[in-house]
Chains A and B, each alone.
Chain A
């Protein structure tokens, strides 16, 4: 009968493990159902490509999509090279010493800083001190600072998952350290780096707090003309529609949310596809 008890116990444990997994899914599914059912009615080509009208109570959300794309591109321009370079330094060059430890600790802690703190930091440094004003430049830099720790961590992991033997062979063929990194390590770490980067940047694209003081405009009648212009952005626009503008149709708010979530889902899908494509090719 002892065995019977063990079986029952096992079933109970399995049930709770399964239940926990199910509970994770519930909010995701509910969010999607609510957003899609209420928002899809406004979703059409005009909604995506037209300017807002009548105090944003009708018309499209084109400038907010454009603004978000500008911000994502700007974030990538700043965060990707710095992130990859410092990951290479930390993973391949740095010695294990106090300085490295401190840098690592800083990276871990930076990843945990609340996004509103980044927003205020960006306001202080980029907007006020460096006099970029509220602009795409300041917003991109703020988001870049926010995603850097995540990109560095993901890139380091990708670099360190490249087998030691690749490095050994490369050195044994007479390659220098940099040649080894460039030709024997980096190409094989790139898929992991890209995946991590896309995931972190798509996360940043949905953030409101960091852009609140650094770039986001309540309403702009025209598209931004340079990186020193303010821009409208999807997450902030959603916040504005939901709390700052009276008498906005519910469908418009949910439609905006749907576009935001949709874009992030697409970005994440791309990351997943890259990962699985390279995982299938990878044979070590």
Chain B
């Protein structure tokens, strides 16, 4: 894959003495949805958090190998973390808007990065909310507290917050696990819509979800990448026995 957006090269990751990722090699294509699946504790969230260096916040971690985003090794000491995290946004498991207004939640990123004047904020807010399909519902209540929204709307707002800082990779860490099935379906629809402009990496417990939204899937077990390929192939003709056991629900 010559045009890979994210390239992981021989990545080892340790929490103290515990090795959470073992020699992972992976290439994630641009403008597609890549799903990372596997049972709890297999290292899939850890891997996702390597892509925007959120693991840096945890003490006692050690990393070996390379993660290359847009041709740049993000673990190189000269890397600007602010720039990296602007580009590589993250959606968390629980919707986590700040206890501020809808408007201020989206304006948070632009205001800390000073890349727009305050006069442009309404425009940015509108564009971001439109992109996640919230504008029509919320345009008259932008000053309401974001926490008054439904779980689904909150999660959409969190995605809009990333679009406002002009992220182009969206990391989603089980973005629907706190949502009901209908809300889940609608978020999945949004993901398919966003795929046209953004590179999306989703960690999910839910195999149906991976099958529904992703074009490529990676199966992890105990920190190792067991199998990686097109989602359709992986789910219909898995090459490895372990993958088959997991996706058919025989274990995990």
A interface residue numbers (CB < 8 A to B): 165-176, 179, 183-184, 188, 281-284
Q: Which residues of A contact B86 (CB under 8 A)?
A: 173-174
Q: Which residue of B lies closest to A180 (CB)?
A: B112
A-B contact pairs, 6 of them (CB 8 A): A166-B96, A168-B96, A172-B89, A173-B112, A183-B108, A188-B99
Q: Chain B interface: which size bin?
A: 20 to 34
B85 touching A174 by the CB < 8 A rule? yes
Report B89-132 CB contacts with A as 1/0, cut-off 8 Å: 11010101011000000001101110000000000000000000
Q: Name the prevailing secondary structure of the A interface residues.
A: helix
Q: Which residues of A contact B222 (CB under 8 A)?
A: none
Q: Name the prevailing secondary structure of the B interface residues.
A: helix
User: How many residue-residue contacts, CB under 8 A, span A and B?
Assistant: 63
Given contacts A168-B54, A173-B109, A283-B147, contact A184 B98 (CB under 8 A): yes
Q: Which residues of A contact B111 (CB under 8 A)?
A: 183
- Asked if B83 CB lies within 8 Å of chain A CBs, one says yes
A172 touching B147 by the CB < 8 A rule? no
Distance of A76 Cα from B162 Cα, bound (Å): 40
Q: Which residue of A lies closest to B87 (CB)?
A: A174
Question: Of residues 43 to 81 in B, which have CB atoms within 8 Å of A's CB atoms?
Answer: 52, 54, 57, 81
Distance of A165 Cα from B173 Cα, bound (Å): 13
Chain B CB count within 10 A is highest, among A165, A173, A184, A283, for A173
A168 touching B57 by the CB < 8 A rule? yes
Picked from A165, A172, A175, the residue with its CB within 8 Å of the CB of B94 is A165
Given contacts A165-B96, A168-B92, A169-B96, contact A174 B112 (CB under 8 A): yes
Distance of A171 Cα from B58 Cα, bound (Å): 13
- Asked if B145 CB lies within 8 Å of chain A CBs, one says yes
Given contacts A168-B54, A168-B57, contact A173 B85 (CB under 8 A): yes
Picked from B54, B83, B112, the residue with its CB within 8 Å of the CB of A175 is B112
Given contacts A174-B85, A183-B108, contact A169 B92 (CB under 8 A): yes
Q: Which residues of B contact A284 (CB under 8 A)?
A: 99, 147
B165 touching A174 by the CB < 8 A rule? yes
B147 touching A173 by the CB < 8 A rule? no
9 nearest CB pairs, A to B = A174-B85, A174-B86, A172-B90, A165-B96, A283-B147, A174-B82, A173-B109, A179-B112, A175-B112
